[in-house]
Structure 1
C-alpha cells in the first residue's frame, strides 16, 4: 500500500546534517530539511541553517509554520478569535455597500447588534470553538433578553460571518445552519384603518395646530394616496412629480447614518424604484402646495429650513399628534406630575433612564397625551418618594384621567398603519398581491400578503360553489 500524501499546508519529518566543519573537523554549520506540501498540492523541499543542530531545526520549524500560515491566506484560521472574523465580515459588508449591493443603514443596524450582543457573547471564542450548541445557547439568551427580532438579526450576522470563515478555510461547515430558526408572534398584527378612522384621522390632524406646524396633514394624505414609506415620502423632490399626468417617481429614501447625518440614498431594492399614479384628491393637495412657490430641486415635504426632514423626528411628531390631550383630567394630572418631578429636582432624562423609557414617553404623560393607569402612576411617583395612597387629590386626578377618551381611538396608529391601510384598500378593490407589492415597492409578494394585507372574510363565492358541487338530492 502506498504512503498517503501529506495534507496541504503540512510537512514531513525533519532531517538534519552537518553542512560545514572547521579545520579541526568540528561542526560549525548544520542544515535542516523537510518536505512541505504547498497550497497548489506540490511537495517542495524547505531548508534552514544554524550553528547548532537545535538552532537549524528551530529555524526550519519557523519557516514551515510561516509557510503554512501563508497558504491559509494569513487572514483567518480556526485559531483566530471571532472578534477578528467579525472585523473581516464588516469590511466585506462595507465593500458590498460601495458596490451598491447593500444599504449603509443596514450596516448601522448590524454594528449595533454586534457591539451590544454578539461580541460580548462570542468575541473571545476561537473560530474553531464556535459550535452549534454554543451559538444556539447565545441566540436563545438574546431572544430572552432583547426579543426575537434582535435575535433574528444576530443569527443572520453570525451565519454570514461563519459562512465567510468557511470560505477562508477556517472551518469546514457553517455551525449556524443547524441552529433552530427563531420564530415569534408579531406584537402588532397587521391592522388597517377603517374609512371612519381615516376621516377621523385627517380631521384631527387638520384641527391640531402642532400637527399643522409639523406639516403632518398633507404628509399623511400623500402617504395614504401612495402607500410609500415615511423615509420615501420625505425624499420626493418636486422634479419627480408630474401633476399633469398625475404621477410621482419614488427613487430615494432619507436615512440618518452615524457620523454622516441625513443622507438621500436610493431605495434598498430595485423594486422600490417605481412610478405611482396619484388619486385626484392627492393631486389637488399637491397643486395647493405648489402655488406657494417651489424649486424643482427641493423636497415636497421639507423641514423649516427647506432641507430634508428626519424620518425619526417625523414619526415622533406623528405619534405626538395622534396622542392628543384626551381630556382636561389627563392634562391636569400631567401638570401635577410635572410639578412633583420638578420639586424633587429630577429631569425628564433622569426619570426616563431610571425606567429605561424614551424621554418622549414621559413627555406624553406630563402633557396628558396618553392614557394612564393607576399602577403606572403609582410606580412613577414612587421615584419621587411619594406614596400615591397618601395624596388624595392626586389619587382623584388619577381616577378621572384613567377614563376612556375619544382621542384613544387614534393612539394606536403608527406611520406603517398608513401603508397597511393603502394596501388593504387596494386588496378590497380587487387588485392582485403582485400589483399591491409593486405599489408598495416590495420585491417579495409573500411579505405583502403576510404583513401588509389585513385578513379579509373567507371567499364568499365558496359557499355557492360547494352548494352546486354537492346538491345531489339523493344525499339529502
Structure 2
C-alpha cells in the first residue's frame, strides 16, 4: 500500500549527519535535514547546520516552522524583502487604475512617495523584520523631514502593503495597525470670500493683463458660479452647456498622467457626475464666450492651442493672479530688485536656489505681488551682492497698505468654499451643497467647505423665552 503524502506545510522525519570534523576526528559541524511539502505540493529537502546535533536540529525545526507558517504565501514569505512586497502592491494598485477603480494621479503621488521616502527607508528589510517599532520610526522620520502630509501618505502605502502581506500569510498581523495616527497643527478654518472681496477679486483680475491673457476672469467666475474644481472646469465642453436650460453637465476632469500627458477622465466618484444649474450672470458670461460656429466638443476654457488646459499651469497662473499687483511703490521696488538680479547675472531659478526659496517668491517680489519685508529684501539684495541700505526709502514706501492686500490669503479652494457658504446661507441643506460640489460625504462639505455662520439667531430668543422669567439673583 502506497504511503500517504505529507500534508501541505508539514515535514517528515529529521535526520542528522556530521559534515565537518577537526584534526582529532571530533565532530565540528552537523547538518539536519527533512523533507518538507510546500504550498505547491512539491516535496523539497530543507537543511540547517549547527555546531552540535541538537543545535542543527533546533535550527532546522525553527526553519521548518517558519516555512510552514509562510508556505501558503505563494509569492511572498517573511524572508522576502519589503521592496518586493512594495513591487507587488504597486502592481495591484496599477491594475485598479487601469480598470478605473483608482485615479492615475493617486498612483503618481504614491509612486513618488515610494521612490523618495519608503524604498530608501525599508526596501532592504525582510518582511518579517518590518516590526511596529521600526515602521513607527520610519513614519516619524518622514514626518519630521517632509511634513505630516507626506507621512500620512507613506503610512497609508505601508499599511496597504503590509495588509497584502497578511493576506499572503507572510506575516500574521499588520504591524502598522498599532502606529498612532499622525497629528498635525490644525489647519486654518474654512474661509469664504465676502461679497466685497468677490467684487475686489473680479475687478483685480479684469485689470491684470497677465490674468486676462491667462483667461482667468471668466474661469474664476465659472468656479464661483458652480463650485466646481479647476480640473472639472477645464474639462467642460460646449456640448455639456445648455444656455437655454441654464445648466452645465459635469462628468470629467483634466489630469496630467506621467508618460501619457493630459487626459480627460471621468470624475473620481459617481457623486462627481452632476447636472448643475447656472446663475443668470454666469449665463451672460458664457454667451459672450460662445462664438458662432464653435465646435461642440471644444473646451469652454481652452489653452492657447485650442486643446484642454493643464490644471497645474492654470493653478500656477491663478496663484500669481491671486497675489494681485500691489501699489506703484511695490512695483517700483520690484523693478529695482529685478535690475539687481540681472546685474548679478542670476536667473530667478538660480537666485531661488541660492536663497532656498520657492521660485515663485522671487517672481512675486519682482512683480510687486506680495508685501515686501525688510528680511526678504535684505536676503534678496545680499544674494545679488548689493547693499540693502540703499533701498530703505523704496522699502518704506512699498510696505504701506494696499487694497490688494485683502486678497493675498485667497487660494483656489476658497472659491469652492465661497460657493458652498453662499448656498448654506441661502438655506440649502448640507446634502444639497454637497451635491453641488460633487462630494459623496456631507461631513466633508460641512467641515471643510462651509464657512462657519453666525450662531443660530433663534437660539437666543428660545433661551430667553425658556429662562427669562427666572430669578437668578
TM-based fold match above 0.5? yes
| Aligned mates of 2:355, 2:188 — CA distance in 1 | 23
| Aligned mates of 2:208, 2:228 — CA distance in 1 | 24
Listed as ranges, the gaps of 5+ residues in structure 2 are: 1-5, 18-31, 47-59
Pairing 1:469–2:460 present: no
- The one of 401, 404, 415 aligned to 2:401: 404
Report the alpha carbon displacement of residue 474 of structure 1 after superposing the two structures with TM: 6.5
| Aligned mates of 1:7, 1:427 — CA distance in 2 | 65
| Aligned mates of 2:197, 2:44 — CA distance in 1 | 80
1:51 is aligned to none
RMSD: 2.7
2:427 is aligned to 430
Pairing 1:221–2:218 present: no
1:385 is aligned to 385
Confirm or deny: 8 A CA contact 1:227 1:419 kept in the other structure: yes
- The one of 389, 396, 414 aligned to 2:411: 414
TM-score, normalised relative to structure 1: 0.86
Report the alpha carbon displacement of residue 377 of structure 1 after superposing the two structures with TM: 1.3
Report the alpha carbon displacement of residue 191 of structure 1 after superposing the two structures with TM: 0.9
2:22 is aligned to none
Quickly say closer, same or farther: Cα 1:466–1:16, change in 2 above 3 A.
Answer: closer
Report the alpha carbon displacement of residue 340 of structure 1 after superposing the two structures with TM: 1.5
1:118 is aligned to 118
SS in structure 1 at match of 2:255:
strand
Pairing 1:12–2:12 present: yes
TM-score, normalised relative to structure 2: 0.86
1:240 is aligned to 240
Confirm or deny: 8 A CA contact 2:70 2:170 kept in the other structure: no
| Aligned mates of 2:173, 2:252 — CA distance in 1 | 39
Pairing 1:324–2:324 present: yes
1:5-404 paired onto structure 2 within 5 Å: 9-14=9-14, 36-39=36-39, 71-389=71-389, 392=390, 394-404=391-401
- The one of 445, 449, 459 aligned to 2:446: 449
Moved more, 131-140 or 306-315: 131-140
Report the alpha carbon displacement of residue 373 of structure 1 after superposing the two structures with TM: 0.3
Report the alpha carbon displacement of residue 469 of structure 1 after superposing the two structures with TM: 2.8
Q: How many residues align?
A: 437
SS in structure 2 at match of 1:101:
coil
Report the alpha carbon displacement of residue 350 of structure 1 after superposing the two structures with TM: 1.1
| Aligned mates of 2:341, 2:286 — CA distance in 1 | 45
Quickly say closer, same or farther: Cα 1:10–1:355, change in 2 above 3 A.
Answer: farther
Q: Deviations over 1:216-252 (max 9, x none)?
A: 1111111111000000000001111111111111000
Report the alpha carbon displacement of residue 365 of structure 1 after superposing the two structures with TM: 1.0
Confirm or deny: 8 A CA contact 1:34 1:45 kept in the other structure: no
| Aligned mates of 2:84, 2:372 — CA distance in 1 | 48
Report the alpha carbon displacement of residue 188 of structure 1 after superposing the two structures with TM: 3.5
Report the alpha carbon displacement of residue 395 of structure 1 after superposing the two structures with TM: 2.2
| Aligned mates of 1:46, 1:370 — CA distance in 2 | 71
